[in-house]
Chains A and B, each alone.
Chain A
C-alpha cells in the first residue's frame, strides 16, 4: 500500500501517540470543534454566573409576575417575577455539574469494574456481574430516598447517588468489549513480551474499548441531567429557589400555554448542550479510532 520513501535516519521522529493523533484529527473536525466551543462557553458562563448574572437568582418581583422577553428581562420573567436569564444561568451551574460529575463517577466505577470483570473472567466475573444485576434490581427511588434519609439532603450526595446508578450499564458495556478484545492475538503478543496484566489492561485493552464508551457517555450526560430534574421535582434533589434546567423545564411545561418562554428558553439551553455533546462525542469516537477515515 504505502511504500514511502526511505528517509534518512536523521529525521527526528515526532512523538506520536493515539491521543496526540486523536487531537490532530479532532481539530480538523469542524462539527466537533463547534461542539467543544459551545460546551466550553457554557461551562465558562456557569463559572462566571455569580459575577455576570444580571439579577440575583432569588430576587422576586411579585408585582411584575410573568412577563415576556423585554429589554430589561432579556428572556422574560417567571410567575414570581424572577429573571429567566439569571435562573437559566444558575440552573446551568447545577445541571452541568450534575451531568459531568455524576457521569465521571459512573465512568470511573463502570470502566474499572467492567474491565476487571471482563479481563479476569471466570468466577470473579460471575460474582462481579451478579452484584451489578442485584443493583439493577434494586428500586432506584428507594435507594435514593434511603440515602437522603440517612445522610440528609445534599447536592453532592445527589451526584454520587446518580453516578452510583449509571455506572451499571457502563460496566456491562465495558465488560463485553473487554471480553472480545482479551482473546485477540495482540493481547497474547503482549503477554509473550512479558507485560504485566495491569499494563495490558491499561495500554492494550482500555484504549480499544473507547468507542462504545464515548458514545454511551454522551448519552449518559443528558439522561443524568433529566434524572436530576425528576428527583428535584419529587423534592429529593435541589430545592427552590435554587434551580436547574430540568426543574425549569418541568415548571415550564405546567405553564406552557400561558407563558411559553418559560419552557422554550431552558429547553434551548438543554438542547444546545445535548447537540454540542453529541457532536463532540462523535468526533471523539472517530478521532480515537485510527481506522476511521482521515478527515
Chain B
C-alpha cells in the first residue's frame, strides 16, 4: 500500500545572488513499512526534498515551483496550516542530524518527548500528562535508555551523543507516526554508536511497520537498511531502484562514481618508510585543568592523553584511529606543542622539543605543520588565498617580497587550485577547495612532518577521495612523514602504513595496518572494525541479523 507519493516536485530558492533550483522534477513513492534511502552529496537537494514534505523550508527564499506529495491521499504541499500541524503531530516525524542542537537544552527530555501528546491539536488524541509519561517511559526503554525513570528528568547535555540520538528517536516515535524521516541521523556519531543506532532504527521500523525515508551521504550506511535507494545530484534523481539493483547492477555513472569513491582496501605508497625515528613520544600526558573542581579533587584533571608512547618513522604515514573523545586530536596537537603537556617527552629527529622556548621552537614550526579538520573554520575569513599562503612563507623567510608571487602560484598548482582564484576569500570556495588551501598553507614551508587531523571528514565522499589522493601525491613528491588522525577506519586503511588505535587517552593497539585489519588483537579494535558499514547490501543484511 502506497503511503507517500511524490510527483514532479521542483523547489527553487530565490536569493539575492540569483535563483537556485534545488530540486528538479523529483518523483518517488513509498509503501507502508518500506525504507527508502535518499543518497547524495551536500547540495544535492536530498534534505530540501524531505523538508518540503513537512513545510519546514523557510519561504521565502524557498518556493515550491510545482509538484504534489500525496500522503494517504492528501496533498502535503497544498494543505493549510492546521492540516499540516495534524500531520506533523500524528503522521510524520523527523530525526535530525545533530541531536545536541535539535533538543531544547532548557527542557528535560521527558518534557520534550511528551509535548506532542499533551498538546495534540486533535482533542480525541490529547493525553493527560500522567498517561503521556507512561507511554514515554516505555518508549525510552524500547530505544535502549537505561534507568528510564530517572533519565526522564535529565537534560539533553547530560546524555552522550548516541544516547541523545536515541532520545530523538523516542521523541519522533512517540506519536506512532506512519512515516519517519531520518536526516543523516548517524553522521555526527562514532562508528560503533552509528552501528547501534542503525540497528535500533531497523528494529523499531520492523516492530512498528513504519515507512522510513533515510537521508544519507554515505552509501555504506544505507546498504544494510534500505529497501530502495534513490541517488540524487544537483537536485535531480540520478538513479532510483531496489537496493540490490543500485549496488550490484549500477546503471548511472554518478552512482558508480559515488561507489568508487568509498575508500575500499588500501592505496598505500610503495614502502617509503625507513628505520629512522623522526618523532618519538614517550609517556606523554596532556591534562586539562577543570576549573570547576577543587585542586585536590580526583577529577581536577581531564586526562585527554594519558601515558602515550609512540614512534613515527621517517617517510611513513602513521594512522591514528579513535572515536570522539579518545584523545587522538589532543595527541596530535601536543606533538606540535599546541596543547598543555603535563609530563612526558617529545623528540624530533633526536632533539627534545618539549622543553624548548617559543623562539627555539620556531625552526621546528617550519618543519612540522598541521592540516585541520574543518576547512570552514581553519581559514581566516578575512584573508585571501594570497595572504593565507604568503603568511608562513614570509614569516619563516622561505620567500622574499621578490619571489613570493611565483612561489604562491607554484603552491596553488601543487594543491590543484586555479591560479585565477588567488585573490578570492575562503567563502568563495567549496569545502574541497578550501581544504586544498589549508593543505597549501601546511606544505608552504616545505615541512618534513605533517599532522593531518581528520582532513577529509568534513568533505563529501567524492571530494574526500580527491583530497586523499592529493595528500598521497604531496607525501610522495615532498617526501613527507605524516601522522594521519581519523575516526574513519576505511580512510586510515586506505592511506596509512602503520596504525595506532586510541581509546580514552591510551593506546590500545598498534601495528602494520593490514595485520591489524586481518588480526585485531584487542576486543576494542575488533568492535571498531566490525562496526564499519560496507557498501554491500547482502553482507550488511547478514551482519544485521547476527549482531
Which of A37-45, A158-166, A186-194 contacts the other chain?
Answer: A186-194
Determine if B380 and A186 form an interchain contact, defined as CB atoms under 8 angstroms apart: yes
One digit per residue, 1 when the CB lies within 8 angstroms of any chain A CB and 0 when it does not, for chain B 497-535 equals 000000000000000000000000000000000000000
Report the separation of the CA atoms of residues A290 and B362 in the bound assembly, to the nearest whole angstrom: 31
The answer, yes or no, to whether A257 is at the interface (CB within 8 Å) is no
| CB of A287 to closest CB in B, whole Å | 11
A16 at the interface (CB under 8 A from B): yes
Give the CA-CA distance A26 to B489 in the complex, in Å: 49
Shortest CB-to-CB span from B288 to chain A, Å, is 13
**A9 within 8 Å of B (CB atoms):** yes
A194: shortest Cβ distance to chain B, in Å? 3
Bound-state Cα–Cα, A288 to B381, Å:
11
Across the interface, do B387 and A17 meet the contact criterion of CB distance under 8 Å?
A: yes
A188 and B372 contacting across the interface, CB-CB below 8 Å: yes
Interchain CB contact under 8 A, B386 and A185: no
User: Is A185's CB under 8 angstroms from B374's CB?
Assistant: yes
Are A193 and B391 in contact (CB-based, < 8 A)?
yes
Q: Are B395 and A204 in contact, CB atoms less than 8 angstroms apart?
A: no
Q: Which of B187-195, B205-213, B417-425 contacts A (4 or more CB under 8 A)?
A: B417-425
A222-266: CB near B (< 8 Å → 1, else 0) gives: 000000000000000000000000000000000000000000000
Does A14 reach chain B (CB closer than 8 Å)? yes
Q: How far is the CA of A13 from the CA of B411 in the complex (A)?
A: 15
Q: Say whether, besides A17-B387, A185-B377, A193 and B392 are in contact (CB < 8 Å).
A: yes
**Interface hits, A194-239 → B, CB 8 Å:** 194-196, 203-204, 207-208
Among B380, B386, B396, B423, the one with the most A-chain Cβ atoms within 10 Å of its Cβ is B380
Prevailing SS type, chain A contact patch: loop
If A7-B419, A204-B380 touch, whether A16 touches B427 (CB-CB below 8 Å) is no
Report the minimum CB–CB distance from B480 to chain A (whole Å).
15
B298, chain A: closest CB distance, angstroms: 23
A208/B382 in contact, CB under 8 A: yes
Contact between B395 and A193 (Cβ–Cβ < 8 Å)? Answer: yes
Interface residues of B, CB < 8 Å — how many? 50
Flag if B441 contacts A2 (CB, 8 Å).
no
Which A residues are CB-close (under 8 A) to B369? 192-193
Judging by beta carbons under 8 Å apart, are B370 and A189 in contact? yes
Q: Which residues of A contact B422 (CB under 8 A)?
A: 13
Q: Does A141 contact B (CB under 8 A)?
A: no
Q: Given A1-B430, A193-B365, are A12 and B405 neighbors across the interface (CB < 8 Å)? A: yes
Q: Which residues of A contact B381 (CB under 8 A)?
A: 208, 290-291
Question: Which of chain A's residues 277-295 have a Cβ closer than 8 Å to chain B?
Answer: 288-291, 293
User: How far is it, in angstroms, between the C-alpha of A267 and the C-alpha of B506 when the chains are bound?
Assistant: 70
Tell me which of B386, B406, B424, B433 contacts A9 (CB under 8 A).
Answer: B406
Is A184's CB within 8 Å of the partner chain B? yes
Bound form: Cα–Cα A195–B441 in Å: 13
- 8 A Cβ contacts from B353-389 to A: 358, 361-362, 365-366, 368-370, 372-374, 377-384, 386-387
**In the complex with contacts A1-B430, A193-B391, A6-B365 CB distance below 8 A:** no
**Is residue B336 within 8 Å, beta carbon to beta carbon, of the partner chain?**
yes
What does the 1/0 interface line of A130-151 toward B look like (CB < 8 Å)? Answer: 0000000000000000000000
A192 / chain B contacts, CB cutoff of 8 Å: 336, 338, 365, 368-370
Is B378 in contact with A189, judged by CB distance below 8 angstroms? yes
Residues of B contacting A185 in the complex (Cβ-Cβ under 8 angstroms): 372-374, 377-378
A191 to B364, CA, bound (A): 12
Complex Cα spacing A2 to B432, Å: 12
B409 near A: Cβ within 8 Å? yes
User: Are A2 and B418 in contact, with the CB atoms below 8 A?
Assistant: yes
Q: A17-B387, A194-B362 are in contact. Are A4 and B405 (CB under 8 A)?
A: no
Q: Cβ of B386: which chain A residues have Cβ within 8 Å of it?
A: 13, 16
Residues of B within 8 A of A3 (CB): 418
Residue of B nearest to A16 (CB): B423
Interface assignment of B16: CB less than 8 Å from any CB of chain A = yes
Q: Nearest chain-A residue to B383 (Cβ)?
A: A18
Q: Do B338 and A188 touch (CB < 8 A)?
A: yes
Query: Which residue of the partner chain A has the closest CB to B375?
Result: A185
A186 contacts B420, CB within 8 Å? no
For residues 86 through 133 of chain A, which have their beta carbon under 8 Å from a beta carbon of chain B?
Answer: none
B338 near A194 (CB under 8 angstroms)? Answer: no
A248 → chain B closest CB, angstroms? 42
Q: Does B438 contact A (CB under 8 A)?
A: yes
Cα A290 to Cα B382 with chains together (Å): 6
A194:B377 contact, CB within 8 angstroms: no
B326-362 interface (Cβ within 8 A of A): 333, 336, 338, 358, 361-362
- For A195, give its contact among B384, B395, B430 (CB under 8 Å): B395
B158 CB–A CB distance under 8 Å: no
Assembled-state Cα–Cα distance A18/B384 (Å): 8
CB of B17 within 8 A of chain A? yes
Is A5 on the interface with B (CB-CB < 8 A)?
A: yes
CB neighbours (8 Å) of B368 from chain A are 192
Shortest Cβ distance from B379 into A: residue = A186
Tell me if B283 is interfacial: C-beta within 8 Å of chain A: no
Task: Give chain A residues whose Cβ lies under 8 Å from the Cβ of B418.
Answer: 2-6
Chain A residues near B333 (CB, 8 Å)?
188
Q: Pick the contact of A194 from B382, B396, B408, B425 — CB < 8 Å?
A: B396
Q: Is the CB of B378 within 8 A of A186?
A: yes
Q: In this assembly, does B429 line the interface, its C-beta being within 8 Å of a C-beta of chain A?
A: yes
Name B369's closest neighbour in chain A (CB-CB). A192
Name the CB-closest residue of B to A4.
B420
Contacts of B428 in A (CB 8 A): 1-2
Write the nearest CB–CB distance from A293 to chain B, whole angstroms: 6
A2-B428, A2-B429, A194-B365 known; A189+B438 contact, CB < 8 A: yes
B429 — nearest CB in chain A belongs to which residue? A1
**With the chains together, A258 CA to B428 CA distance in Å?**
60
10 A–B contacts from the bound complex (CB under 8 Å): A1-B429, A4-B420, A6-B418, A185-B373, A188-B333, A192-B336, A192-B338, A192-B369, A193-B392, A291-B425
B-to-A contact residues, CB < 8 Å? 16-17, 333, 336, 338, 358, 361-362, 365-366, 368-370, 372-374, 377-384, 386-387, 391-392, 395-396, 405-406, 408-409, 418-425, 427-430, 433, 438, 441, 445
**6 smallest beta-carbon distances between A and B, as pairs:** A4-B420, A194-B365, A290-B425, A185-B378, A185-B377, A16-B423
Apart from A189-B441, A193-B369: 7 A-B pairs, beta carbons within 8 A: A4-B418, A4-B419, A16-B386, A185-B372, A186-B378, A194-B365, A293-B17
